[in-house]
Structures are given as C-alpha cells and as structure tokens.
C-alpha cells in the first residue's frame, strides 16, 4: 500500500515537472534582457477549445494592418482570396486587391510589367529585400508578420503588449539613435517607432478606435493570418473527442465483459 | 480459454486456401490472435508496446502524405510547410498530427522503457529483445532529429548546426566528418536534402527492427508484473480477445490525449522560433532541442571543463551517447535473479526515488538555459545517472534480500494454485 502511495506521489510529481517544463516554460513571463516582464493578458475571442475568430475584429484589424503596419511590414502568406474567410465578398475582395500594384511577367516582349492585383495575388511586401528594409528603417528589420503570433512566446499577448507598451524611457536609460523605449521588447530598445496612438483609422462599423481597440483588432487579424485553420481545427477536434470518448467507452465495456469470467 | 499451440483450422475455405500456400493467417493468429498465449496478469503498463507500434504506423502514413507536398530545398522548405498549413486540404491536420505524433511516440516509448526497467524485462532470456529495443530508440532519435530540421525554421537550422557540430568534437577525423555529414561547412541545401532522404528511410528500418523485436518477444513470451515465468496453461489467456480488448481501451484513452494536443494545443510542445525562417546570420537566444532530447542534452552540457587533453565537448558527447549505450549492458549490470521490482525492496527504492527523479531533473535542466543553477544540477544528476547503472544497480542486486515470489502467476492472481500445493508436497 505504502508503495502504491509512493508511486502515485511520484507520478504526480513527474507529471507536474513534465508539464511545468513542457507547457509551463511556454507560459512563463517574457524574458527581456535577463529581467522578467509580465505580458498584458488580453482576452481574445479565438481563445479556448470552442473559441472562434471575431470576424468584425479581424476585419477591423485588416484595416489597421493595411493603413498602418503594411508600410513597413509584409504579410507574404496572405493572398487576397483568403479574405473571403473573414467575411468579405468576392466583389469586395476584387476591389480591395485592385488598389495594390504587383509586378508580373515577363510578357511576350520579355519585359516585366506592373498591373493591379487580383484575388489570387499575394499581399505585396513594402520592400524588395531585407537590405532595402533595413536601409529604410535605420538598420532595424521589420519582420514579415504572417506568422508573428506563433513566432513569439505567447504571441497574441506579446504583440498586444508591444503595441501599447511604448513609454517615456526611465531617467537612467539612454536610448540609442533611432531607437524607442518599449516596456515589453527584449532589452526595451526597439527600432520600430510607436505605430499606434489611437484614431489612426476610422472604423466603418463605428467602433471606438482608441489604441487598445486598435491593438486588439490588429492582433486578432494577425492571429487569423498565422493560424487561418484555427476554427476548422477546433471543430474537427470536438468531433474527434466525442468519437473517441464513445470508442473508449465501448472498448471498456467490451474489455469488462471479456475479462469477467476470469476474475 | 487457454491458448493452444496447434495449427489453427480456419472455417472459411478461401482463408484456408491461402493459408495452406502462404501461412500469413497462421502467423497473425499466433502473433496477435488466439494462438498467442499471454500471461493473464499483465497490467496497463503492458499497453505501451502496441501503442508504440501504432504510433510508428501513424507517423509513416502522415509522413508519406506530407512528403507529397513538401519541398526539401533551403529556399522553399519553409514556404512549402506554410503551403501545407494553408492550401493543402487537411494539411494543417497532417502536419500537427505528425509533429505532435513524434512527441506522443516518445512519451509512449519512454513509458515502455521504464516499464522494462522496473519489471526487469531486460533479464535472461530477453536480453536480445531488450537490446533490439535500444536500437529502435536510437533510430527513433536520429529520425526525430532529422525530421525537426525539415521545416527549416530557426531551431531547425541551429539545432542541426549544434548537433552535427558534436561530431566535430571527435579527435582528428571530427572536422572532416562534420563537413562530410553536412555536405558543406554549415547546414544548407545539401544537408536538408540528405536529412529528408534519411528521415524517409529510417522509419522503415525501425519497422524492420520492430519485426525482430516482436520475433524475439515471441520466443519466451511477454514477461509480467510478478516476473515469474509462465508455468502452465492456466497462467495464460489467448492474446485475442483478452488483450486486444484491453489494448483497444488503452488505445482510446491514448488517442484522447493525443487529439487534445493535436487539435487544441498543437504548438505547445514546439518552439516559437521554428516559425521564423532559418537565418544563418542570427543566432537564437537559447538553442534547445525538442523536449524528448532534454535529459540527454543536459548530460551533454554538464561537461564544462577540459580534462587534461580531453576537451569538455568531447566528454559531453561521449557521456550523452553512453547514457543510452549503458542500457545495452543492463542485463549484466543487474545480477539479481528476481526480475520484477515488485519483489525487490531496495531496487524499488532506488528506482522510484533515485533514477526516476534523476531523469526528470535532467529533463528539466536540458530545457532550461545553460546557466546556474541548472549547470550544477545537471552535473550532479549526470553523475547520479551513471552511478545508478554502473555502481548502485550491481551492488543492490548482490546485497538485496528479495521478498518471497509467488509460485506462479495463477497463485499471484487467485491467492492459491493447486499445482503449487502439489509441488510443495502437501
């Protein structure tokens, strides 16, 4: 009996350590130059096992992205046709795409040429390459944002915090040339000037466009962009769970019956 | 109820026709059917062998379909993975199933190994069975390592660089060997192509070794929680339906856990840096392998000072590989005539309070940044790990006084066995 209790205790210990190191490491606070900063815990509609995207927020976020972020950041895995998944109609998508210019070709004369984008085109990146991007941003490189919420620990909370985390630098900190103070960036000095102040866009649906709403919306959009199959995944998951619980139940009953004559 | 060894007679004429010419049905019947007598006291710890086999099958199936859409070139690998995630029908499912499947495979295999360690499954006459298992684990590790390189993210690249760099620690031939393995000075297109090729090949090598593993299993048959060998037919039940039913239930529970990860926490076990495309110019703050390598990574990093002319890195590499190679010698390091930890009071204490916590601590340190106190803890745990196998186990097995064993499996299940009474002369 004592052994049994010991085993259970150790198993519990093992599982705790295992989970703490596997999932727990991922849920620790972000590390900023050796010191720990707690991210703002923002609630998003897509969280939880049943969570789905708030399409209105994702659409507003697309507006913030195209108006503010897209002048420096690319989103190369975003095709205009994908916007159908967040509720835009085909005509709206065509109209939105045609505002952008893409390079196509070569044509029959062997020349590359510019034309308005169509639904199957990908969102054009602002700079032709990394060198050009750095040159235009004081040496800092604005990364492509297609996967950003999955490419950082607690990506959604992190990007949200980053957006609202610009502050006056403390007196004892000297800020480098072309750098800005941000409470949540590793080392606190970031090469990105504060992108959002509030009222950077005018929302068509009449929502308030204070900085928190804008940050919330753009992160909702970025997470849809990083994980576009989130809803399909969770829906499939629920079905799989129901099936497996029934499957296990049936096998359990069968196992009990088969073994009954032995015990 | 008990299984018999006679050749089965099949009712279906077609089945009989085939079986007379190519006895595949008989082989299956005797391998996992009613013709395979199995100890009747196997606990749920014995479920993990069949689960491991299932995971290999699932990994091969999802892997083959992924390979149809993946592009193993340094320029396009990352894009092709995103193409799978976004444009391929159920591509997200295949990729998350495969990535989390690797983790689940290791969980299952580690539990399977710990079952073997506790119940002495490596002891005579099952030494080769055990050693083939160690070979399978080594192949799995190589496969998983190369698989993690394929998405060509930051951790893929830097993990490949660190691990192939280990070969550079070998004296004299190290550096040329490393260049030969990578096909260049750093991981690049050539490395990615060969890793893809080998990642595709190795699972089939594993499948072949598993056939030998199961073959070797069927000579003595399964061990069991008492460690007492089967004495008579009354100790056994036919594999089917008894253990097919029990394995089926275990499978359902296991799949629930697997699907929870796959559908609701698909990136929890991965590293965010691997969603950043590989960049040889920018080193990640902490380079960590996947969780299933953490205990071994901790052993590797525990060696921080050179020892005379032996560089620290070389000692780390040797220690890391020895941590698994020592298992090959286990049947001879543990001399106790008693198999099961259930009847070995001293062994049991060192198992639950020595080895298990030691490995968990190593795992934790392997995932943590290479700074104090983790380095020192890793050093202590590494020392203890080898102490356990090379010193404690041999001593324990010679000084320990085992508890009395039941006469037979039947006695341990029912509390008495008629044959035991006969044998003792009453």
What does the domain layout of chain B look like in residue ranges?
46-424
Let me know: does B50 contact B253? Beta carbons within 8 Å: no
Please state the domain extents for chain A. 3-78+123-228, 230-263
Return phi, psi of residue A182, to 5°: -135, 130
Residue B6's pLDDT is 62
Question: Would you call A152 and B246 a contact, using CB atoms and an 8 Å cutoff?
Answer: no
- Whether residue B291 and residue A21 make contact (CB cut-off 8 A), yes or no, is yes
- Contact with chain A for residue B345, Cβ under 8 A: no
Question: Torsion angle of alpha carbons B401, B407, B413, B417, nearest 10°?
Answer: -150
* DSSP category for residue B47: G
The pLDDT tens digits of the residues spanning B341-399 come to 999 999 999 999 999 999 999 999 999 988 889 999 999 999 999 999 999 999 999 99
Q: What is the DSSP letter of B230?
A: P
CATH superfamily to which B46-424 belongs: Cytochrome Bc1 Complex; Chain C (1.20.810.10)
Burial B278-301 (b: 16+ CB within 10 A, else e): beeeeebeebbbbbbbbbbbbbbb
Give backbone dihedrals phi and psi of A183, rounded to 5 degrees, phi first.
-65, -25
Name the token pair of B157: 């690249």
CA atoms of A115 and B319, how far apart (whole Å): 61
Q: How many CB atoms lie within 10 A of CB A33?
A: 10
Residues of B in contact with A125 (CB under 8 A): none
Question: Shortest CA distance to A187 belongs to which of A38, A31, A41?
Answer: A31
Measured CA to CA, the distance from residue B381 to residue B386 in angstroms comes to: 9
Residue A113: beta bridge partners? A104
Query: H or E segment at A101?
Result: strand A101-104
Looking at residue A66, its pLDDT comes to: 96
Output B380 or B416, whichever has higher pLDDT.
B380
Cβ distance B352 to A7 less than 8 Å, yes or no, reads yes
A3-78+123-228: CATH topology: Cytochrome Bc1 Complex; Chain D, domain 2 (1.10.760)
Among A7, A23, A259, the residue with its CB nearest the CB of B242 is A259
Q: State the maximum Cα–Cα separation within chain A, in Å, rounded to a whole number.
A: 86
Strand duo A101-104 + A113-116: pairing: antiparallel
Tell me the pLDDT tens digit for each residue of A112-153.
999 999 999 999 999 999 999 999 999 999 999 999 999 999
Determine the pLDDT at residue B170: 86
Q: Which residues pair with A166 in a beta bridge?
A: A182
- H/E run at residue B250: helix B239-264
Structure tokens at B421: 């009474």
- Chain A residues within 8 A of B85 when measuring between CB atoms: 229
Could you tell me which residues are beta bridge partners of residue A182?
A166
Contact B91, B85 (CB under 8 A): yes
The catalytic residue positions of B are 218, 222, 246-247, 290
Residue B351's closest chain A neighbor by CA? A7
Phi-psi region of B95 (alpha: psi -120 to 50; beta: other; left: phi over 0): alpha
Q: Assign A31 a pLDDT band (cuts: 50, 70, 90).
A: very low
Select the residue of B241, B269, B352 nearest A6 (Cβ to Cβ): B352
Residue B306's pLDDT is 84
Q: Which pLDDT score is estimated for B414?
A: 82
- pLDDT for B88 equals 97
Say what the pLDDT of residue A15 is. 45
Is residue B277 within 8 Å of B81, Cβ to Cβ? no
- pLDDT on residue B426: 42
Is the separation of the CB atoms in B88 and B276 below 8 Å? no
Number of CB atoms found within 10 A of residue B75's CB: 11
Residue B291 has pLDDT above 80, yes or no: yes
Percent of chain B scored above 70 by pLDDT?
96
Confidence of residue A6 (pLDDT cuts 50, 70, 90): very low
Q: In this predicted structure, what is the pLDDT of residue B7?
A: 72
Residue A32 has pLDDT above 80, yes or no: no
pLDDT digits 0-9 by tens, B233-269: 889 999 989 999 999 999 999 999 999 999 999 999 9
């Amino acid at each position: 009996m004592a052994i049994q209790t010991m085993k259970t205790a150790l198993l519990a210990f093992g599982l705790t350590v295992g989970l703490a190191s596997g999932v727990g490491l991922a849920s620790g606070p972000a590390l900023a130059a050796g010191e720990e900063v707690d991210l703002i815990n923002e609630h998003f509609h897509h969280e939880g096992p049943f969570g789905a995207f708030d399409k209105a927020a994702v659409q507003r976020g697309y507006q913030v992205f195209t108006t503010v972020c897209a002048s420096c950041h690319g989103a190369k895995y975003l095709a205009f046709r994908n916007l159908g998944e967040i509720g835009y109609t085909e005509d709206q998508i065509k109209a939105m795409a045609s505002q952008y210019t893409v390079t196509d070709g070569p044509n029959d004369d062997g020349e590359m040429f510019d034309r308005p984008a169509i639904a199957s085109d990908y969102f054009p990146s602002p700079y032709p390459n990394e060198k050009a991007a750095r040159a235009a941003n004081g040496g800092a490189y604005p990364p492509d944002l297609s996967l950003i919420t999955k490419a950082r620990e607690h990506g959604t909370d992190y990007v949200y915090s980053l957006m609202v985390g610009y502050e006056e630098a403390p007196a004892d900190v000297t800020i480098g040339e072309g750098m800005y103070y941000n409470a949540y960036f590793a080392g606190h000095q970031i090469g990105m000037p504060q992108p959002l102040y509030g009222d950077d866009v005018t929302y068509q649906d009449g929502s308030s466009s204070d900085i928190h709403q804008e940050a919330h919306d753009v992160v909702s959009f970025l997470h849809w962009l990083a994980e576009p199959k989130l809803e399909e995944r969770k829906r499939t998951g629920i079905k799989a769970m129901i099936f497996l619980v029934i499957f296990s139940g049936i096998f359990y009953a069968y196992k009990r019956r088969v073994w009954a004559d032995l015990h | 109820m008990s299984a018999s060894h006679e050749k089965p007679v099949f009712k279906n004429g077609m089945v009989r026709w085939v079986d007379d010419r190519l006895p595949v049905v008989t082989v299956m019947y005797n391998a996992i059917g009613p013709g395979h007598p199995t100890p009747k006291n196997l606990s749920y710890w014995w479920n993990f062998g069949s689960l491991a086999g299932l995971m290999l099958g699932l990994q091969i199936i999802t892997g083959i379909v992924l390979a149809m859409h993946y592009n193993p070139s340094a320029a396009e690998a990352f894009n092709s993975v995103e193409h799978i995630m976004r444009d391929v029908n159920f591509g997200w499912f295949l990729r998350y199933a495969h990535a989390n499947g690797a983790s689940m495979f290791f969980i299952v295999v580690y539990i399977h190994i710990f079952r073997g360690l506790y119940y002495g499954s490596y002891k005579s006459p099952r030494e080769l069975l055990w050693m083939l298992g160690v070979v399978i684990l080594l192949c799995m590790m190589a496969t998983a390592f190369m698989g993690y390189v394929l998405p060509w993210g930051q951790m893929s690249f830097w993990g490949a660089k660190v691990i192939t760099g280990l070969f550079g620690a070998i004296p004299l031939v190290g550096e040329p060997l490393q260049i030969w393995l990578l096909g260049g000075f750093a991981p690049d297109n050539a490395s990615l192509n060969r890793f893809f090729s080998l990642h595709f090949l190795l699972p089939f090598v594993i499948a072949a070794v598993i056939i030998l593993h199961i073959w070797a299993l069927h000579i003595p048959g399964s061990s069991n929680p008492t460690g007492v060998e089967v004495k008579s037919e009354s100790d056994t039940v036919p594999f089917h339906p008894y253990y097919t039913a029990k394995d089926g239930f275990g499978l359902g529970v296991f799949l629930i856990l697997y699907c929870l990860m796959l559908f609701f926490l698909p990136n929890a076990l991965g590293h965010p840096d691997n969603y950043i495309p590989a960049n040889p110019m920018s080193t990640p703050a902490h380079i960590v392998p996947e969780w299933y390598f953490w205990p071994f990574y901790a052993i590797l990093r525990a060696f921080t000072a050179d020892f005379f002319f032996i560089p620290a890195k070389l000692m780390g590499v040797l220690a890391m590989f020895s941590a698994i190679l020592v298992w090959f010698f286990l049947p001879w390091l543990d001399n106790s005539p008693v198999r099961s930890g259930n009847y070995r009071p001293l062994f049991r204490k060192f198992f639950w309070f020595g080895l298990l916590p030691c490995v968990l601590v190593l795992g934790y340190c392997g995932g943590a940044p290479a700074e104090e106190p983790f380095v020192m803890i890793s050093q202590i745990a590494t020392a203890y790990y080898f102490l356990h196998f090379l010193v404690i186990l041999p001593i324990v097995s010679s000084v320990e006084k085992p508890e009395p064993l039941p006469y037979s499996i039947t006695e341990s299940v029912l509390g008495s066995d008629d044959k035991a009474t006969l044998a003792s002369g009453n």
